Structure 1
């Protein structure tokens, strides 16, 4: 059986770890030139091949991973790959994307004898580096069977949700829950301070109780410990995901007032200046505090 040749587009916080673990599993890996030269040069030093054009990657690779900010970027990347893809190639979108867009891209790829799969990521850059990400996959059964050993090199938990698009739907639900927690924590901390209960006192009650969870601990890594990089997921990406969730709810005519409230919490933070590349989800506490006259 011919070994798959793997491409990775977007070797940023998550993509670099994915590519590194693919190399460690002895897959031939191709990466594309990026304005941030550090990750590319690191991967080339480990054995990756660098190309400067997506068509060159398409001609070289049988499976191509995409780690991009969202659907507009994924659509542009797939459009550039499409003319040069080899028949049978698989595009794996590891981004958190709009499921409607994902399904449309799958149809375009099917028309030229190729395949689309969505494999959005759960975890942190540290977990990406260690090959310990989680992923929820939308793909036909045959495509999933082909991808499974490849994805096993960079993910320790893999769930096949259903056909193409199902992974992105599940990821939006997952992010709705986690970002809902973030909005709840930020507002609760502001209210606690307003009524004379310190952040440390609040944390001493919640931590270790039934209300505690892994997300709470990384979120509070900033509020309690001042670690600005406790959870490196930007407010901008959070707002994007919540807008995709809103569109998904609209598509099935679902009333989602809680989803809208969570989205608006992040939208207010973004409008107040929380739209930079180093404004992360735990920093929401600052924006909610300032909106309520707190330091």
Structure 2
């Protein structure tokens, strides 16, 4: 069992958060969780040794480090606002969401006024790696805060990079997602064009797989396009669209042209506008929406 004086809270035990929280409690850290809509992960975590609370006030009062794994900045800001009045001086809030760095900076300043630290520790990879404890994590935090939270992050992440100060984790995460979601848009258009000119998906894959253009993201993406596995990469189209809006905003604030990032964002906007906004509509399904836009059933 891990010897620690830290008490860990976790808010957001969804697709990614469930596996992350599972690893925290199984590796010996005292863990407090609370339910939102789905009781299944909470019941599982309680069975593994976590303690459930019914309010954010109880969460704040009982935890020295609280992890957030939420949809985006509006949800993070609302949760921090609800926690603030009950947080003890010296508490650390760790935002593992993909958030807007501008909001992250604002929250850092607000929390500093009451002696609470903020770190951003967004993730890369999928729910499978979250469950296995092998996620990638990029952390924005002061050095002393990073040293404090690193052992807990190490329960669910195999690769941890302290990228810089608060907000830099979220900036790097947006760059990471720009690349990965750019791949998704590129693959989707290439597959539509391939089919339009008479090259079946199976033949397309024979050329790309194992070659220099192959990569882990390609393989999970093609798990749907080639094999029909709807759960090959469980990252929603709505979250992808949100992330690309954040990328575009970050580029606008930095006075950087958005030729590529806006094109990627618009690919996901097309999917959202034509029915891809459900909770079970995932990034690899983008290929369907691009195909339909090009008259391919």
Give the TM-score range, shorter chain. Answer: over 0.9
d(CA) in 1 for partners of 2:93 and 2:213? 39
Query: What runs of 5+ residues in structure 1 fail to find an aligned partner?
Result: none
d(CA) in 1 for partners of 2:43 and 2:267? 39
Asked whether 1:41 is paired with 2:21, we answer no
SS state of the match for residue 117, structure 1? Answer: strand
Contact 1:63 1:89 survives alignment (8 Å): yes
Structure 1 counterpart of 2:279, from 261, 266, 277: 277
Asked whether 1:268 is paired with 2:270, we answer yes
SS state of the match for residue 145, structure 2? Answer: helix
Contact 2:184 2:284 survives alignment (8 Å): yes
Structure 1 runs of 4+ aligned residues shifted over 6 Å read: none
Q: Residue 180 of structure 2 corresponds to which residue in structure 1?
A: 178
Q: Residue 256 of structure 1 corresponds to which residue in structure 2?
A: 258
Offset of residue 2 of structure 1: 5.5
Q: Residue 52 of structure 2 corresponds to which residue in structure 1?
A: 50
SS state of the match for residue 33, structure 1? Answer: coil
d(CA) in 1 for partners of 2:16 and 2:229? 20
d(CA) in 1 for partners of 2:35 and 2:175? 33
Matches for 1:1-295 after TM superposition, within 5 Å: 3-295=5-297
Contact 1:3 1:27 survives alignment (8 Å): no
d(CA) in 1 for partners of 2:287 and 2:114? 48
What's the TM-score, normalizing by structure 2?
A: 0.98
Offset of residue 49 of structure 1: 0.7
SS state of the match for residue 291, structure 2? Answer: helix
SS state of the match for residue 68, structure 1? Answer: coil
Offset of residue 34 of structure 1: 2.1
d(CA) in 1 for partners of 2:293 and 2:22? 42
d(CA) in 2 for partners of 1:35 and 1:256? 37
Offset of residue 153 of structure 1: 1.0
d(CA) in 1 for partners of 2:37 and 2:294? 39
Query: What runs of 5+ residues in structure 2 fail to find an aligned partner?
Result: none
SS state of the match for residue 91, structure 1? Answer: strand
**Deviation larger for 12-21 or 175-184:** 12-21
SS state of the match for residue 170, structure 1? Answer: helix
